[in-house]
Structure 1
Amino acid sequence: MHAINAVAASLLSAGHSETAVFQAFSKQFVKLGLHGSINLVDPTGRDIVVRAIALPNKLNNVMAQLEKMINFSIIGYRYSRERAGLDNTAMEVGQAIFLSDNSRKVREVMPQVGKLATNLMLKYFAGRPAVLAPIFADEGKVQGVLYASGSNLQATDGPAIAAFANHISIALQNAILFQEMKDARASLQRVNASLAASRDAIHALVQQTPVGIQVFDTNGICVDVNEAYLQIFGMKRNQIVRIYNIFTDPFAARVGTKQAAERVLLGETMRLGDVHFDFERAEGEFFHTIGRRILNVTLFPVFGESSKVVQFVGLYVDVTEQKKSEASLRQLTMELSQQKQMVDAMLRTTPDSFYVLDINGRYLYASPRALEHLSMTLPEIIGKNRRAIGLSEALYEQSEYARLQVLQTGQPVVKEYGEWTNGEYRDQEFIYSPLHSAAGEIIGFVITVRDVTQRKREQTALFEAQKTESLGVLAGGIAHDFNNLLVAMLGQTSLALTKLSHDNPAHDHIQKAIRAAQKASELTRQMLAYSGRGKFEIRLLDLNKLIEENSHLLKVAMPKHVALVLHCYSQLPLIEADPGQIQQIVMNLLLNAAESMEDRPGTITITTSVIAILDETIQQWQYMHQSVSPGHYVLLRVEDDGAGIDDDVLQKIFDPFFTTKFTGRGLGLAAVLGIVRGHHGSIRVSSQKGYGTTFEIAFPISDKDNLQVVQPEVTTAVSASTGTILVIDDEEAVRDALSDMLESVGLSVITAVNGKDGIQQYQQRWQQIALILLDLSMPDQSGADTFTELRCINADVPILLISGYSEMEVQSHFAHAEKLDGFIQKPFDLDLLISTVVSKLPALPDES
């Protein structure tokens, strides 16, 4: 018992920590000649952990050897409660258990190690008597087992070992309590330090915050303020703390803080909002003069015990500069809004579309016109790339390529793209421009999209018009020069024919030469028709009547395998046209249609009707870029079901000298175009390969009742006494031909090489000159200018114009008041020349 008391005293003295308890246990156990361990259940309740061991020196050496073999320490060793049967029994019965042989106990808890270590453990620790005694925690709860073993242990030692276990239980509980007290004390020290630090931090925060803070007691006396308050109100601490009373200050009553403080004492928080402080010091007022300020004021109570207000606090936020900034911001916002409205109005009215993209090609903005084109809203496209909004793949690739070009070069890139929109092909111009930051870096792109359809049409129309005009001038010039040669050929051959008898061997040859020259003149007429300078005899024309009167001729001209069908509108209005030229149009179109049939049977349909050309359809009638006005027109349609025309050929069919025929001259459709242009009409062509071609020609409807065409009177009587003829022409061959033909019938002829020479000749010999033949186209001085000067010399002298161009074309060179005495179109033969000249010569005086 004395030994147990010594152990108890030793354990109690070690109660300040578990480690000290375990050390005292080990020391006292070895003194008692025992060895063993303290084994405690872990918090999970599944395992038992060896927390302390007591071994004499010999067994200590064995344990060190064993730990080296198994490579872990026995202290801290953990074994499962499921296999610790004897430990569980001791804990369940709550009493000490004596084991005469501890081998089962050792085997239950020993680690699973090699045979050598197992044999060593069994040799030194098994086969001995032992006692297992429960170790208790608070409220009698078992928390482990005290294991004791020794060669001299007997069953009667169980109570002593149990008492030892109880002392260990008490010592461990004391150690836990001591540690909890120690932890609580440390925690309290930390809390106190934290509170002190918090007070210091709060005080520093209060002093450093830009918000003015003022603390009042319940009597309204200021007990503390921070630095921000002193700066806002222009005060020093000793001027306000314990001196200022909010309830007695007239200024506080004037701005409303006194009334708010009275309600705060009742427990309310008062948010006064923005208060205008005018610190112009008045009689009896407290504050110094610091100017006008706007303060956001809040007063709130501080509660003590029993929810009683013990203090209240005023918060003063100086928002003067903020309000100024807000006012400036509102003004700026209003100005920006106005500017945005102006820009939006401009962007809404401009036909161009504008887009702003970021550096990665995602939309940041789109103008109203652009959104209208996309049929989307701005939120629907923001942040998306151009592919995500449904852009065609081709346009997306072009856009990406242009974007990369801008990134590489830093310069705007212009691209064009065409696409079908609402059934119409539109050309668009895309201008990709870089968007720079203040540092000059490219941060995005501005894309301007402009519809250039009309511009391209106008450019194409201008090009075609210039081409047509150039070709017309070329064709007219060739025809003019060729006509001059034909005048000489026809004049001289027809003159030669008059001097030969019919039985002369040369007679037939000269007639063939005349026919060849006349056929050549047909070519020049077609070339003049294309140039718009052909011979037109304009009159009111019924297109139906012309077609019906020539229907037999038209049908005869058709191959036998081609059928001709006529559909004529019965109420067809009249047009102003040259019947011969219109007949040439019909014939040329029919011959082209018949040739397109090749050897297949087919049908050609001629239709007349009235058509309305509207603003929305006018583009269809500018096939050859003619100038067309909206209105009603007489329509001539020639339609075939032949082979059709390829698209690339269709663009060239009206070009002079263009032909797909081996023997063609390429002047038939060119003449058609020139005649239509000369009649101020329009033409359009549609064709589909393998299905046929349709030509449609629109002629303006006449608003006149009658047009007279004056035919020259033909007189063949010639007298040598009627005077002398002055021939003015720059072409020697023409002058010679005219001289020879006129002299052949007994007329006298004087020739002049140009306009100036002709005027000089007339001034010198005007009394003997009875008539003047004047060429229109001459270098240096034109025929029109020469005509005017001759009229100034003698207003009554007959002047006949000669030209390869038509009479209408010639008349356009003269003033309306200048009436021509006559006109002869080149080429002409002897009979036409003589009949026209004689009809204009003055009659001989009556000799009777």
Structure 2
Amino acid sequence: MSEKKDDGNGFIRFLREKAEARVETEESGSVPARTRVARRLRHELQVHQVELELQNEELRRIQAELEKSRRRYMDLYHHAPEGYIVLNAAGIIIEANATFARMVGRGRIQGAVFAEFLVPEDRPVFRARLRTFFRRPADKKIEVRIDTGNLRPRHVSLAAALMQQGETGGQAAAEELFVTVTDVSELVRVQEELQRSQQFTLAILDSLTAHVCVLNNRGEIIAVNEAWRRFADANPPVGGNVAEKANYFSVCEMADGEAASAATAFANGIRGVLEGREETFSMEYPCHSPVEERWFVGRVTRLAGFLSGHVVVAHENITGRKRMEQERLALRDQVNQLAKAESLSRMAGAVAHNFNNTLSVVVGNLEMALEDLQQGRNAVNSLELALRGAWRAAKTSGLMLTYLGLGMERRECLDLCQACSGIVADLLANKPEGLTIGVVFPPPGPTVEIDREQIRQILTNLVENAWEAMSGEHGRIGMDIETVEAAAIDTIHRFPLDWQPKKCRYARLTVQDDGCGIAWDDLDRIFDPFFTNRFSGRGMGLPVVLGILRAHDGCVTVASRPGEGTTFRVYLPLAAQADGPRS
């Protein structure tokens, strides 16, 4: 049947043939034929009747399909995700789909003025644009807000197309406008949240005291915060600017005088982060103005979660911190001067007292010897006592020279473990009862250049200082020797105070006790000559240790807490042949 519907004539011939076939079928059992003309006329009438019936059947079928298609179209039209309306030139709604009715929340739409559905502020805008839509609607859109009666209006985007209704003077006359209404409320909400987030981020950046900017991979400034702007306005660079679109590298190249080297170093640091050679970069630099001295710290970091090849540059004013550091250093110098004056005063008083006592003994015995000689008595005993006093004075003078690091030219290469082992044997023979000494001197030990007697003085003074801390009670002293890297030497309570490592590796002698410990306030004074606490002694043991180490480019550290014992660590540089690379 579809083959016979290719054109109108074919369809008519198809109906004719079908009608004749039906009439012939009906006439096959008819009464005998009458006249030839009457039979043909009847035949034609019957065929025509059948043709009309077939045409009616075809029309009803087509009408049913058209109705079905129209219902499907109307379903799509009314349930489309976008609203559709038809407006006339006055802005009156001629037709609208159900989606638009749901948008405005009203049942009666047709015949209403579209502008009345908008919030009052948007109505004049729509009326002005309506005329533009009718003249040339292509590529034109407008966003307006529909008043839904709720607290928040519905944001919609309007796009239009002309509906041609006739011809006037050879041109189409536009009488109606087909408008697509798209709900963009969610998009507007997201945009508003994004804008609030950006404003919040900018507010945070503008609240920072640091001067912050963002650079691209060419060094161009693409964003700055308020602190950066204020500083740039107050301190304009020579021959350039540091606002958006300026090249920061060019600004650094324009620096002159004392600032040129710092600017070059900072620019190279930025390039290192941009090129991926460094994760971060920071440096402190002076940035003085004509009226004040200022210091800043500049930091460069990669911009995370954004375009590659961008960095954040932040400059923070640290003038307050620098001034505090200077004041602290000045105060420390004052304290050191006061401590030095106190130490010198104490040392001078102690030396004077020591020599006064010794000289009193010497002078007294010499006077007694003179008197004995005048009376013919034996003066040997008095002379011996005077000589002993003189030797004590000489010993005190020698200890003072040792504290100053003088008079120690004699040196030899010694295995420190072997040298200390012989000294420990003498200490064990003279140790107090109840005291335990533990030794870890693994052979061969590190080799150092020092006189053997000076090693004896160091170890003996430290051990005697430790067992004096026991106050005659039971306790334990531990000693060990090992080789350490220079970086492992502690910097807290390290003496001499100005000591810095000059070698890669050092021999370390540790003497540790579990005595009463040293008060925190005394830790910085225990190496002063003649400083004593509640322990007995002349107060020259630890100063002698410090003087020997000073003369040999060594140092000593002390760690102690009251009631928890004390640990002394002596560091001596390895001999030249022993300070090579590790095997």
Q: TM-score surpassing 0.5?
A: no
What TM-score do the two structures reach when normalised by structure 1? 0.31
Larger radius of gyration: 1
TM-score, normalization by structure 2: 0.43
